[in-house]
């Protein structure tokens, strides 16, 4: 049967279209079949990792970790785990009992995040392992308060001026540890160390002028209050009562004593030089009086002879000048009178010098902390004032060309000592 060419062409086109459609459907079916095949899981991982655990005190934690492979060939381990936490190395079973004794002993803390490292390792292939971590936090519904405990027995201290107050501020931690410490005093104080956290030490040097003259019983008492707070601003207060007693400022008193001693010593040197000047004047006057005594005796003898001689009229001269030989004798008193004032002044100065030197030796301090230093200084001031009142009319000389050794050598000269030595009559 003969068909037209156009018909044959249409039939061929239809047959070719059917083949193409069939091939496309086959490929789509093959692709769909390929997508439905599950992929193979080859990377090791923990399937049920819990990143955060919260555990109540006195409770038990039991949790089993799982991996995506056969756990028989793998080894489990922990790092930085809290005390008492364990994991089964074969099956990854985690167990922990939050015993209260751990917290009471301070080995564990409440509300503190413990980061625990966990790992699983293939025993046959070292490169096949997983290292990760999780966090554990412990809480307690029973709140145990934290307390401050200063290292002062009974909370009372008795110190003296010049001492140093020193003690530590410790803490007895409860459920929530004390994180910050502040303190207050009932009276202002200076030069102390600041306490900010548990274990810090408080140190304060007590000044000598802390106790005032109008304070009762020469002492002052004040309070130091330490206030500790935790992260929830719960507060605890500890008080320390300090009683300060008045004391002698030995460094200041010793400096004052040395100044007084120097002034008395300088005054003694002035008196010694004045004594030397007066003593030399008395010595010069004695020599002058001896010279005029001889001249006076000669004049008296001459007057006696002249009085016995006759004059031009044959009468003795004494009848005309009855006082010849008598009026010339007192000339020595007019030319070199006796220096009674200088003699008395030198004697008084010498005795008072001895008195001041004896007072200095008698009231010398014993060591750097002589408890009688105040009374000794008062005694020295009284003796110095009395000597100055006795010698108030004696003009003091200033030694310009003599040093202390020369003045002492003259004052302690045996001849001078013999001259002013007291004698019994």
- In this predicted structure, what is the pLDDT of residue 167? 94
Long-range contacts of 264-269 (CB under 8 A, 24+ apart): 264/356, 264/360, 264/380, 264/384, 265/360, 267/356, 267/384, 267/388, 268/353, 268/356, 268/357, 269/399, 269/404, 269/407
Q: Of the candidates 354, 355, 307, which has an alpha carbon nearest to the alpha carbon of residue 328?
A: 307
Tell me the pLDDT tens digit for each residue of 53-85.
999 888 899 999 998 888 888 999 999 999 989
Give the residue carrying structure tokens 């040093």: 403
- For residues 142-154, give the mean pLDDT: 88
Q: Which fold has domain 52-139?
A: Immunoglobulin-like (2.60.40)
Q: What is the pLDDT of residue 208?
A: 86
Delimiting residues of CATH 2.60.40.10 domain(s) in the chain? 52-139, 147-247
Q: Structure pTM? A: 0.48
CATH architecture of 147-247: Sandwich (2.60)
pLDDT band at 243 (very low <50, low <70, confident <90, very high): very high
Please say if the pLDDT value at position 297 is more than 50: no
- 304-352 per-position pLDDT tens digit: 444 555 555 555 554 544 544 444 444 444 444 556 777 788 888 888 9
Of 246-260, 292-306, 350-364, least confident by mean pLDDT is 292-306
């Amino acid at each position: 049967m003969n068909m037209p060419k156009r018909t044959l062409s249409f039939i061929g086109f239809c047959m070719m279209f059917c083949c193409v459609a069939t091939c496309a459907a086959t490929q789509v079916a093959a692709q769909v079949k390929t997508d439905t095949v599950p992929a193979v899981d080859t990377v090791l991982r923990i399937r049920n990792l819990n990143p955060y655990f919260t555990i109540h005190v006195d409770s038990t934690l039991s949790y089993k970790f799982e991996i995506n492979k056969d756990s028989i060939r793998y080894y489990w381990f922990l790092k930085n785990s809290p005390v008492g936490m364990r994991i089964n190395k074969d099956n990854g079973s985690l167990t922990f009992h939050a015993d209260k004794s751990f917290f009471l002993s301070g080995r564990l803390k409440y509300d503190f995040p413990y980061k625990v490292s966990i790992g699983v390792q293939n025993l046959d292939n070292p490169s096949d392992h997983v290292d990760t971590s999780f966090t554990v936090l412990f809480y307690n519904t029973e709140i145990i308060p934290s307390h401050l405990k200063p290292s002062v027995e009974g909370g009372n201290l008795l110190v003296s001026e010049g001492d140093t107050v020193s003690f530590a501020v410790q803490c007895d931690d409860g459920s929530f540890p004390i994180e910050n410490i502040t303190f207050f005093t009932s009276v202002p104080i200076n030069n102390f160390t600041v306490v900010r956290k548990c274990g810090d030490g408080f140190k304060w040097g007590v000044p000598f002028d802390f106790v005032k003259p109008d304070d009762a019983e020469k002492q002052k008492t004040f309070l130091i209050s330490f206030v500790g707070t935790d992260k929830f601003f719960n507060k605890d207060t500890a008080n320390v009562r300090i009683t300060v007693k008045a004391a002698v400022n030995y460094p200041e008193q010793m400096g004052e004593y040395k100044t007084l001693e120097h002034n008395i010593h300088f005054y003694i040197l002035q008196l010694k030089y004045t004594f030397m000047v007066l003593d030399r004047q008395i010595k010069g006057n004695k020599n002058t009086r001896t010279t005029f005594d001889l001249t006076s005796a000669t004049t008296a003898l001459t007057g006696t002879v002249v009085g016995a001689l006759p004059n031009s009229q044959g009468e003795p001269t004494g009848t005309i000048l009855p006082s010849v030989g008598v009026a010339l004798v007192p000339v020595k008193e007019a030319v070199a009178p006796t220096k009674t004032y200088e003699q008395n002044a030198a004697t008084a100065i010498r005795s008072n010098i001895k008195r001041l030197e004896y007072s200095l030796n008698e009231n010398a301090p014993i060591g750097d902390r002589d408890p009688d230093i105040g009374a000794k200084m008062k005694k020295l001031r009284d003796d110095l004032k009395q000597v100055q009142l006795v010698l108030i009319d004696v003009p003091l000389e200033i030694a310009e060309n003599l040093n202390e050794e020369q003045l002492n050598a003259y004052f302690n000269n045996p001849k001078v000592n013999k001259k002013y030595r007291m004698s019994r009559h």
